Structure 1
Amino acid sequence: MKISTTQSKIDNIKKRLDSNIDEKERVDLLVSLAETIHITNTQYALDLGKRACDQAKELCYKKGQAKGLCIIGKCLWRLSNNEEALTHLLESLWTFEEIGERTGEAKALMAMGVVLKSLSDFEQAIGYFFQSLRILEEVNDKVSQAEVMNNIGNVFKNLNNYYEALPYYQQSLAILESANEKHGMALALNNIGYVHYALGKYDEALPYFQQSIKYAKEIGDAIAESEALNNMGMVYEKIVDDQTALDIYFKSLLKSQEIGDRYGEARVLLSIGMQYAKNKDIESAEQYLQESTLIAEAVKARSIMCQAYRALANVYEQKKDFERALGYYKAFDSIKEELLSKDITGKINALKQNFELHTVQKELELFRTKNEELIGAFRDLQSLNISLQAELDLKTRVVNELRSKNDAKDAEPRKDFLTNLYTLRAVSPKLKHLFDSAKRQGKELSIAVIEIDLFKQINSRYPSQIMSEVLKKVAQILKEHIRTEDILVRYLGSSFVLLMPDLPAVRAFIICEKMRQAVESFRWGMLASGLKITVSFGLADDLKVPSYEKLIRLAEMKLQQTERSGGNQVRS
């Protein structure tokens, strides 16, 4: 059985740890042990990961440090500490990138995607998943590819795009079955079962959940078991076996509570509350839904929050508490618009198409390479046709001329026509020089990423001409508050990047706060009736990162925290 194999692996690692071994090997073994037990004993795995990371730092062992940071991040996510998990995973990714460890990069990207998906940041999550999948295809890691495919399917499932999700789950399951990898099989089976449930195929869904629970029990994965139980309860609820459904829900709840899985607890409490509401037990429904909401808000599980708000609105409407019902309807409507916006779905489909295009291009490149090998062999046997060679030379010259023109064009400073600010790419060499100089000389330097709050929603309500004026005015206000030596550039869509030399984040925070207040206090109603514009800032000054691009990514993570906290703030 897998469980005995797992225990044998744990015993073997512990035995080797007790022996006289190289210190770097000790770090690797600590990480391996943490990876093996992080599902069944997350807190102990977290402690092991921290020990491994500390020892790797003392040894200047970058790969061991990166692996330790990655398992720490995964454990923190399982303990519902999402923000800290992302911080550790991002540092792990940077370290893997620094040493050129591609498999490590892919696994860190995948773990970051999992955390962001649980925060309902689907667009960024699937971007990380596709990056991870691309690397894993390059290094031919089939089992990890299957894990990523399962996660990609989860994003489409969360967006209710079940027909898009199903092929990813099926591909994942096929790979995992051939490797007899039961943890992944339990997850994939559970997800396939959920797709059948969502499509109303309840009889087909149940066997998948039952098999998922079987594998989860065998390997001791209580989180997977709890989720499959919850989904099975939903099936029984649909086939009108309410008591069996409740019994299964409470089993699932107990599992989640035993291991401290707060996300799973919120999910099952929601199911229980909705079941009581369906059975007209309004008081019990209110109690469980409120508990679900409190936990979901604490762990930022927005998809659960959305469902709980809607269910509570219905409960208070039945209780004729219309004021509270309206409040929950508004909360539901706000988060639903964010989670299921067409823009997010479109971007995710675009990412998927880009990945598929990349795969086709790889196949074409492989075909081209093989074709060139055949031509080369033919040329070894036959003399090369002079006229064809001349034509090839001509094409090469044309390509080189075009490349030279493109290089010259790329070298020209480029300004954004709308805001009259340079683009990030145009000033990239200068930003690199300032960052490298500050790092080398031990000087201060801060970078802020600035985003117009709720720009997509506002953009859908006002004409494009108004939004163009908004972007120009925001850029003007920002320029009015920066110092001569500061560099403000147009970044992506509705965002800007501000580099502030010789300023630590504490002092840069003051400048950013003045900008934020100036944007908020501007009379936006002059541009359009009812228009209100605010901005948020993510601020970073940690020059221990290897490049200014990484510092921008660190600032973006701070910006994401402001967005999840309602925006219109500066976060450092």
Structure 2
Amino acid sequence: MAKIQSSNCSNNQVAELDALLMAARQQYRSDCQQTLLLAEQALRIAQQQRDAAALAHATLLLGQAHYILSGAETALPILRKALTQAKAIAAHRLAAESLIGIACALQSLGQLHAAFLANLDALQAAILDNALTLYAEAYLGMGNLYVQHNEHSKALHYLALASEWADLSADQDLRCKTRLHLSATLLSLREFSLAYDVLQQAKTFLILPLRRDWQAEIFNYLGLIHVEQGESSLALDCLQMACKINAEAGFVWGQTVNLLGLGKLSFRLEQPQAALSYLQQALALVDEFQDLYLLQQIHYQLYLIYEAQGDVVRAMMHHIAYHDHYMKLQRQKEYSQFRANDKRRLQNVEMKLKLLSSELEVNQLKQQRHQEVDRLRELESAVYHDGLTGVYNRRALDERLPELLRLTQESQGHLLAIMIDFDHFKQVNDRFSHHIGDVVLRTACELLSKLTRDNDMLARYGGEEFVLIVHHIDAAIANHIAERMRQKIEQFNWADLQTGLHVSISLGCAVWQYGESAEQLLARADKALYAAKHGGRNCVRFAEVDHA
């Protein structure tokens, strides 16, 4: 990182500053108050030394500590200052960390769309430093935002990505953290067996006694699973253990969640007085941090209990409170809807990360099995390429075409499918042998590939049938390409391969229509090919445009 230092700065002062920053970062997991004190001390020294990188680092740690100790409103301006300082010296990792902190603070304040953008910016900054742990943290943030939107299937996608990046980073603490978030979403999707397995994995990565709060969280989720499986005694034991750990450690939010769970379970077990006791304790605690979602849930459970007891006044009071918090959450959700252009930005970043992920995984395999590098490359190619002709195979077409259609639809561009079939190919096999038939297909694909661009996709569809996907051209140019292909095959001197051999192709073209699926596009191209076959073969036909 870049440093701006005064000329009289001693090596001892530099070492002292580095040690302070390292100690502050290490203490953050267990003692945020100590992190705050160390970060303030490092900040003063960094200002005296005019050390820009250390200044940004200390400001970041200060903001992170304030977020835990004082809340989002206090932390947000400090984290934004850290971001400005990090950007000024192109400290991409610090910038990404600052953005992740900003995203967490914005989410706590209910500014979900701004939090989404901050996580997206964090991903882009992390890419510049190839920071694997920060990819995981940013994806965690994305997933939790979708959880807050009650879009659990989308949340699952990003939390699974976070878990994959955590595994690649080999950070034990992060591997536990991502699995905890993943298991919570699986519970929301009622995937109890899978959630249980993920929690067992989280246990193996749990660092104790440092992560007592996460231990409590594991007990809480196990309790919820036992509730759903009708194992009330086990559920009660797990939830009470979680509550005990959180109470002893002073984790108020976790304790509130556990009391809510115990209240629900007690009501389910027809123990209304115990349920009321747990829920009233939870209501008293949640007032300290005003979590709208928890307030909504607690008031709803109290409403159900009082309604069951016939206490209409108290039931109505809690139902009104429940409804007020529900409406506040809905207004937040409406204000914070993620926009289409933001999602496209995320898709572009994800594409880069997928490439990085693939590259990293392949590099790890190469390091582990250096003697198998050549074989690995062969296998990578074989997955998506036809063994005989070398062009793409059906699997590649099936996976890539829907993505090409999505990109074409977003850019409002053009895309065409050209279905190619070798005329009377069975006669070639029967008359000249299957070996000659293979040579014909291989040679023809070499000829056709020379007429395509790098971004076109020529794939073997099956047997002697092939598909060419071309985009960013109109129907007239596509017709010209198809006709050139037809002529190239017809005019090639096939007799040099085998005396008496003659080869021709028929082609059916279909222009993609807005909203059309890959299957529908290929079906129309196939229909046009059928017309070419029945129109005398060795010709090009276009599918009619569907005006329905």
Q: TM-score, normalised by structure 2?
A: 0.58
Which of 318, 326, 344 matches 1:353?
A: 344
Correspondence 1:383-402 to 2 at 5 A: none
Q: Deviations over 1:130-188 (max 9, x none)?
A: 11111112332122111111221111123221211122122222222122211111111
Corresponding position: 1:48 with 2:34: no
Instruction: Look up the equivalent residue of 1:346 and give its one-letter code.
Output: Q
Checking the alignment, whether the CA contact within 8 Å between 1:266 and 1:295 is kept in structure 2 is yes
Checking the alignment, whether the CA contact within 8 Å between 1:126 and 1:152 is kept in structure 2 is yes
Checking the alignment, whether the CA contact within 8 Å between 2:173 and 2:207 is kept in structure 1 is no
Checking the alignment, whether the CA contact within 8 Å between 1:80 and 1:262 is kept in structure 2 is no
Q: Deviations over 1:340-362 (max 9, x none)?
A: 45624632665333322566699
Checking the alignment, whether the CA contact within 8 Å between 1:42 and 1:78 is kept in structure 2 is yes
Equivalent residue number for residue 235 of structure 1: 225
Q: Distance in 2 between matches of 1:198 and 1:86?
A: 30
Shift of 1:220: 2.4
Instruction: Look up the equivalent residue of 1:265 and give its one-letter code.
Output: Q
Change (3 A) 1:298 1:87: farther
SS at match of 1:347: coil
Corresponding position: 1:112 with 2:102: yes
Instruction: Look up the equivalent residue of 1:187 and give its one-letter code.
Output: K
Checking the alignment, whether the CA contact within 8 Å between 1:213 and 1:229 is kept in structure 2 is no
Q: Distance in 2 between matches of 1:331 and 1:297?
A: 13
Shift of 1:108: 0.9
Equivalent residue number for residue 197 of structure 1: 187
Checking the alignment, whether the CA contact within 8 Å between 1:159 and 1:340 is kept in structure 2 is no
Change (3 A) 1:345 1:280: farther
Change (3 A) 1:72 1:261: farther
Q: TM-score, normalised by structure 1?
A: 0.56
Equivalent residue number for residue 178 of structure 1: 168
Change (3 A) 1:213 1:202: same
Equivalent residue number for residue 148 of structure 1: 138
Correspondence 1:203-242 to 2 at 5 A: 203-218=193-208, 220-242=210-232
Corresponding position: 1:295 with 2:257: no
Checking the alignment, whether the CA contact within 8 Å between 1:120 and 1:301 is kept in structure 2 is no
Instruction: Look up the equivalent residue of 2:337 and give its one-letter code.
Output: G
Equivalent residue number for residue 327 of structure 1: 317
Change (3 A) 1:117 1:272: farther
Shift of 1:218: 4.8
SS at match of 1:22: helix
Checking the alignment, whether the CA contact within 8 Å between 2:166 and 2:174 is kept in structure 1 is yes
Worse-superposed segment, 147-156 or 67-76: 67-76
Worse-superposed segment, 31-40 or 181-190: 31-40
Q: Distance in 1 between matches of 2:224 and 2:168?
A: 30
Instruction: Look up the equivalent residue of 1:351 and give its one-letter code.
Output: D
Equivalent residue number for residue 27 of structure 2: 37
Change (3 A) 1:173 1:310: same
SS at match of 1:217: coil
Identity of aligned residues (%): 19
Correspondence 1:60-459 to 2 at 5 A: 60-79=50-69, 81-218=71-208, 220-340=210-330, 343-344=334-335, 346-347=337-338, 351-357=342-348
SS at match of 1:299: coil
Q: Deviations over 1:209-231 (max 9, x none)?
A: 12213322357222222222211
Instruction: Look up the equivalent residue of 1:356 and give its one-letter code.
Output: Q
Equivalent residue number for residue 514 of structure 2: none
Equivalent residue number for residue 445 of structure 1: none
Instruction: Look up the equivalent residue of 1:86 and give its one-letter code.
Output: L
Q: Deviations over 1:417-439 (max 9, x none)?
A: xxxxxxxxxxxxxxxxxxxxxxx
Q: For structure 2, which runs of at least 5 residues remain unmatched after alignment?
A: 1-9, 356-406, 408-452, 455-548
Q: Distance in 2 between matches of 1:350 and 1:281?
A: 51
Q: Distance in 2 between matches of 1:336 and 1:273?
A: 20
Shift of 1:288: 2.0
Shift of 1:57: 2.8
Checking the alignment, whether the CA contact within 8 Å between 1:183 and 1:219 is kept in structure 2 is no
SS at match of 2:287: helix
Q: Distance in 2 between matches of 1:178 and 1:361?
A: 16
Instruction: Look up the equivalent residue of 2:146 and give its one-letter code.
Output: F
Change (3 A) 1:319 1:92: farther
Checking the alignment, whether the CA contact within 8 Å between 1:80 and 1:263 is kept in structure 2 is no
Count of equivalent residues:
347
Equivalent residue number for residue 391 of structure 1: none
Instruction: Look up the equivalent residue of 1:307 and give its one-letter code.
Output: Q
Checking the alignment, whether the CA contact within 8 Å between 2:116 and 2:338 is kept in structure 1 is no
